[in-house]
Amino acid sequence: MSLGLILNILIRLSILYFLGEVLLFPDDPRFAGKAIPIRNFIIVISLSLLFPAFYFLKNHLKTTYLWIPAFAGMTWKRYPFWLDNLYLSIFWLDMAGNSFNLYDSYFYFDLIPHFHSTAALAVVLLGAFGFSFWGGVGLANIIHMLLEAQEYYTDIFLGTHNVRGLFDTVNDLMVGLLGTVIYGLILIKWRKR
């Protein structure tokens, strides 16, 4: 069993734990008012299964996947555990931040997940799906922008409390952009070696 596989299993088990915790204690001050139970549920039943689903489709429906644009740059000969682990770290870091109450305990903690998660998504798009540097950086930041808009508008229309003000949204977007450029450049230098 490879280290990548072991880490993948551990990340997936901890994500399941975080989901179970928030479903059992939805009114806990760490989770209350943030729509975390539904968000974690959606992550576990759909987004966390992206790599296994694509791998299955690529290997078992070889002639029918051409219509899915994400498959165009996939050159997976084996399951890409390390890229899947990086992808899963996006969700793990956010869930751990809530579980360990880091968002409420440290005012600027949320900059760390916004930096890492946006950057990790860019690297996954580059490494797993064959995006160009600017394509991966651009799409990761567009997705991040949509996430920030969702947080802002759910606060306004649904009464959640995820955003502390305009400065919070601007800071999150800026560190996400910075993270994508830094991680992307690291990946490019690593590939050249």
Q: What is the pLDDT of residue 166?
A: 86
The DSSP code for 34 is T
> What is the pTM assigned to this prediction?
0.91
Per-residue burial over 147-161, b = 16 or more CB atoms within 10 Å of its CB, e = otherwise: bbeebbebbeeeebe
CA–centroid distance for 169 within its chain: 17
**What are the residue boundaries of the structural domains of the chain, listed by start?**
3-192
Q: Which of 76, 173, 63, 170 is nearest to 124 (CA)?
A: 76
Contacts (Cβ under 8 Å, ≥6 apart) of 127: 80, 83, 187
Q: What is the pLDDT of residue 75?
A: 74
What digits encode the pLDDT tens for the residues 23-48?
999 999 999 888 899 989 999 999 99
Contacts (Cβ under 8 Å, ≥6 apart) of 87: 50, 51, 120, 121, 124, 128
Q: What is the pLDDT of residue 63?
A: 52
Q: What residue ranges of the chain have pLDDT lower than 50?
A: none
**How far apart are alpha carbons 116 and 175 in whole angstroms?**
9
Q: What is the pLDDT of residue 165?
A: 87
CB distance 30 to 41 below 8 Å: no
Q: What is the pLDDT of residue 70?
A: 56
Q: What is the pLDDT of residue 66?
A: 52
